[in-house]
Every structure is written in C-alpha cells, then in structure tokens.
Structure 1
C-alpha cells in the first residue's frame, strides 16, 4: 500500500511530465497528445522508472485518475456533438464502424495464424487490432477546433458502433479460450442491450434536455448544472460498463444530451479546468504501459513493424471504403481518424496476458502497436485537417 506522500509525488511527476511533453510536441508543431504519450514512455517503468509497474495496475490511484480523465474527455466531446448532427451521417458512420472492425479483425487473425498461433489464440490477437481509441482522435479534433466538421461527426459516430462490435468480438474470443465455445444467444442479448441503451439515452435523453433544461438550475449552487450533468456522466459511464461497453460511450452520450441544453456553452467553459487537470493522466499512463525491454531485438522490432503496418492499413481501408461516398479527401481523413488503438488495444493485450494467450513479447508488441498508432496518427491527421478545407461543417447552433 502506498503512502499518501508517495502518491502525491507520483501525481506531481506525472502531471509535470505531461505538461512538458505537450509543450515540446506543440513547439515541434505536433498535437499535444503525442508529447503526453511520449512522456509516459519516458517516465514509465521502462526508462526513468518514476512510475512503477504496480502503480498502473487496475484500481490504483493513477489508473483511476486516467479513467476519469478519458471519461471527462469524451464527455466534453459529447458537449460539442448534437444528436441531429450524428443523424445526418448515420449511414456513413455505420459503414465506417462495420468495415473498420471486420477488415482489421480478418487481417490480424490471418497474420497471427500465419505466425504459428492456433485459431483460438489468433482470434484473440485479432481482437486487439479492432477497436478504435475515440479518446486519441477526439483530443486531436478538439485541439484543432475541428469537431464541427462532417468528417469528425462520422468518426465519432463510427467510434460508438466500432466499440459495440469490438466488445461483442472480444466476448466471442474470450468464450473460445474456455474451450466450451460461445453462446450466440447471450451475445445477442448483449448487442440488444447495448443498442437499446444508446437509443434510449441518445434519443430520449436529448428530447428531455431539449424540452426543458431549467431543472438543472433548481439547486441553489451556482455550479448545479455542471454538478448534475457530471453526475449523469459518471452514472452513464457506469451503466456502459455493466452492459459490456467502454465507460467512454456512456460519457460521450452524457455530453451529447447535455449539448441540447441552453447551458451548453457554460458547461463547456466550466469543464475545461477539470480536463486540464485530469485528462493528461490518461495519456501519460497509456504511454507508461509498454515494456521497452521486450522489444530490444531485431526480430521483435521486425514483428512490431509488420503488426503496426497491418493495424494502420486495415483501419484506414475500412474507414476509407465506408466513407468513400463523401469524397476521397474526406474518406482519407475519416479512415486515418479511426486508426489509433490507444487504451483499447492495451486492454485487450492485458486480458490476453492474464489468460495466458500472449507471451510477454507478444503482449509488448500489441501494446507498442497500440501506442504507435496513437502517436503516429495525430500529427498526420492534424496536417490533413489543416491542408484540406472542411467538406462540410455542422452548425453547432442548428437544431436539425
């Protein structure tokens, strides 16, 4: 058990490292998130060791802060996303989400099986190629003020669909590891519950907030609207985990329904200081989870290069094909926006290691791939967004 003074020192070091990393990245004309992830690699167990391995285990203070940070990030992204905006890109977002899962899963499974893994373990490895990290791309879009572009709406909508399908696939491959096969009926229940949850919260919640948001100001506290919507955010994040979804889906939905209130702009402004404090922890901890020693050989680096190329090309292809109706430039931006794996790939790799499916080397390669896609994508995406003007911008004040 850690002493309070040790925890506070670690929090100080991590936070300062995040600020320095973000500042350096921005001076190099890279998104700040790249510097924060790189800072995590530097201060993590592999290099400086300011963060020890037992400090980033599930349930530790740093892990909890990182989780709260990414929940707040997706909540703030939801605050800038109207339901009507997502409806306009619903069909394209569905295709992007679907193809962005199927193509990486197929190519990842074929690569793993071709490297000698039996099909059961190959499918588990393939699951690490699937889910997009909405947090990484959302941060880049937010930093660039690009959340109102149509491409951004497609990416965010597809990320929700992507997460549902990824969790279902993960449920299948986890079941297969037990040797008893999987239960289609149970997975259908999970799928139905997830879709019902998103529809109920997204449609019903948005309608309630649009109809009357005065009740948010009923308490006497000047910050009551923020306190109430943050409570809704945490509650929906918790409900998401009960349904087998990522907590960030519930947080995003909470922000989206809060965007329908007349207090939207005030909520955005009040959320910024919380994000400035907590969100950097997520990206630094993400970067600290890689064991660089496992990659200290030509064979491991060669395997990492192949895995990373497969991860990038497969997601890019899925996103590009799914959104080609919007034009090639927009499709390229969307495909690239779906590339980062970030924390999702790390989670799958951790499950594989705990289940005995992955060796330490395969685990390190999957985690490194997840982090490389998270670090390589933001600067390229930022360059594309600045180079190409928006093919369409959704008016945040429009009601439909």
Structure 2
C-alpha cells in the first residue's frame, strides 16, 4: 500500500479538503434527518414511545446484521467508490420518504426506509473512517480527526436549527429533502478524490466471514481497543444514541411543550459545545494526558444527562441546552481521542475491518437500547426512563477506568503499551 503524499498543512492538502467538505455537507443534512425522521413518525403517523423506539431500533439494526461483512467489502473495493455509491443511494432513499408518506402514510413503510438508510450508513461510515489514514500520515491523524469533528459539530448546530425550521415551514417528510441534496453534493465532492487510490488487498481469497472475523479478533484481543469498545457499547445502549434517543423527542415535544423549531434550536445550540470540545481536544490531551482525558470524557455525558429528568416546561430550554452542551463537549473529546488511537494501532490493510468490527460491537447495542427505551417510556414513563439511562451512561466509563488506557500519556505511547501486530506505513 502506498504511503500518503508528502506532509502538508491540512489547509493545503487538496484531498483532505475534499473529504472535509463532503463530510461537513452531509453532516448538516443528516442532522436535519435526525430531527425530521422521528418527527415524521410523531407528527404524521402519531407514533408513541414504543413506535418511536422501534423506528430508532431498525435504523441501527444493520450495524448488527451487516457490520462485519461491511468492513470486508470496504477493504476489498476502492473506498472512494463505496462512499460515492452510498451517498447516491441514501439520496434516493431520503427522496422516497416524502413521496411514500404522501401516497401511503404507514409506519411499516417508514420502518423499511429507515432500515435501508441504516444499511447504507454502515457501508458509508466505515469507508469514510477507513480512508482518512490513506490521505494523512500518522502524525496528522489527531489533527485531521479534530478538524473533521469540529466541522461536524458546527454542522450539528446548523442542521437541527435548519431542520426545525423546515419541519415547521414545509412538514417533517419534506424537510428530509435537505439531507437528500446533501448526499448528492457529497457524492460529487468525493468523486473528485484521486483515482490513484491504492488497490485494496485481495484478502488472500478468504471468505467474507473469515476475513470479517479476523478484524473482530484484532479488536477484541487488543488490550487498548477492547476497553474502548466496551465503554462505547455500554454508553450507546443508554445515552443519546440508545434509550435516551428513543424518548427525548417525545419528552421535549409532548411533555415539555417545545415546538419542533425550538427543539431544533436547543439541539443545535448545544452542538456548539462540540465545536469547543473538538478544538480543545489536542490541548486537553497534552495537558491531562490521553488516558485521563478519555476517562473524563467517558464519565461526563452521563453525568450531564442526569439533568434531563428534572426539566419542566418553564426551565426546559436552559436545562436541556446545559445538559446537551456538556454531553456534546465530552463526546467530541472522546470520539477524537478513541478514533485516533484506533487508526494508530491498526495496520492500513485492516482499517476497514477494524472500523466495521468496532461499529458492529458498539452500534450493535443501539437497536436494543432504543427498543428498551421505547418499552420503558411506554410502561414506566418518560422521566424514569431518562433517569435510568443517564445512570447507565455514567457506569459505561468503568471499562476504561479499569484498563491500561487510563495510563496513556499520548497516542504515540501505544507502542510502549502494546506490541504492534504488524508494521504500518508512516
């Protein structure tokens, strides 16, 4: 596999700028969908907590069903081409939502489209995470991930705010067309990445499952990757991806009385904290050390989410903004740090399988979390469900607290913490 080109500042690296632009555009659009898709279920189909939990669950179910083979496919084919295909296909699926909700509004149809969207997201996200180490040298991975996360966080301010406005002006299904357009723009940008991308390895003719299991073994047997996987998987079951996601929209709109536009602004405003977290991550890691920073970032989201159940209609906006802002800041620090470590300790030829294996393990808990959140929201009520979920999120930090990860001073220290499995190009 060829090494990345001569080291350039990120702002002068044309290939990185193309990837960065595509990622930013799709993040804005996808944040519109994060708001508009559940609001389509609530406002158009009059879904309750159980139906909303089911919608979230089927959207993440593909991470369990095709998570492992997705990594093999990404390693076998040109990652750029996989990204273009998934961008175009997601644009088609999103364009079908308003059409089918107009022709035949039914929950089963929305569930089917959400499942298709999730399956394409599995492939697209694995390809995106795997292509960055091909564009940047190891020394720039943390900076590159920080830059992408900062842009994504800024986009997450614009996305929900735009989404809330579009839902109020156009309707929830039509608002999804913004995401449709974003994927078309991304496909055009990604297509301009160099065609001279290294040919993926043929994987020695092994079967898809055999090659996929190799990636799973690499992740699970690695003393630094396993605790990160356990922490993230537990957190995703409980927090804003899992149980809380299943009931938060319903809690905000029906119990706190927020309009879609106001809720979009709340989520968007809180996302600004993610920009701060992304920008400050390199400095925070240098000051506190990699391990302590990661551990702190693992504890903070759940602690902040404990504020949610106490919200009332009179203090809903400031309390939700504060809770989601602290959580967003910590999530940015956590994601930049753990993704940089993953890319650093994994050979280039296995990047796709490593990323897919981790997605399989950590996103695979989300369908269960959203389903449990929906059931508990329907039976126990929304506030008790939010409280249980926040407590579970706090406890998710234990695997890192009890592992060698907490002692790392920097990502480069991994060489001293564990023997590399195979040399990788620098």
Alignment TM-score, normalising by the size of structure 2:
0.31
Greater fraction helix: 2
Alignment TM-score, normalising by the size of structure 1:
0.33
